[in-house]
Amino acid sequence: SAMAWRFNSLLLLLLSLGMFRLEASCPEPAMTARGCQAKDRRGRIMENHEFESFYKQGIVPEGEFKDFIACLKTLLPVTFRISRPSSHSFVQRQIEQLARELDHSCSNRSQGGGGEEVPSLRFIDWYQGPGGSAWQLPASVRVSSESSEASKLKLQLDVLASLGLIEYQEAVSMIPVPLLAIRPADDVLDLCASPGSKTRQILHAIGEGEGIVVANDVNAKRCSTMIHQLRACGARSCIVTNHDARRFPPLFIAGEEGGNRSLRQLKFDRILCDVPCSGDGTMRKAPKIWQTWSVRTSASMHGLQLQIARRGSQLLKPGGLLSYSTCSMNPLEDEAVVAALLRESNG
Catalytically annotated residues: 327
Q: Say which amino acid occupies 347.
A: G
Is there a binding annotation on residue 125? Answer: no
Is there a binding annotation on residue 334? Answer: no
Q: Say which amino acid occupies 11.
A: L
Is there a binding annotation on residue 217? Answer: yes
Q: Would you list which residues are annotated within the binding site for S-adenosyl-L-methionine?
A: 217, 244, 274
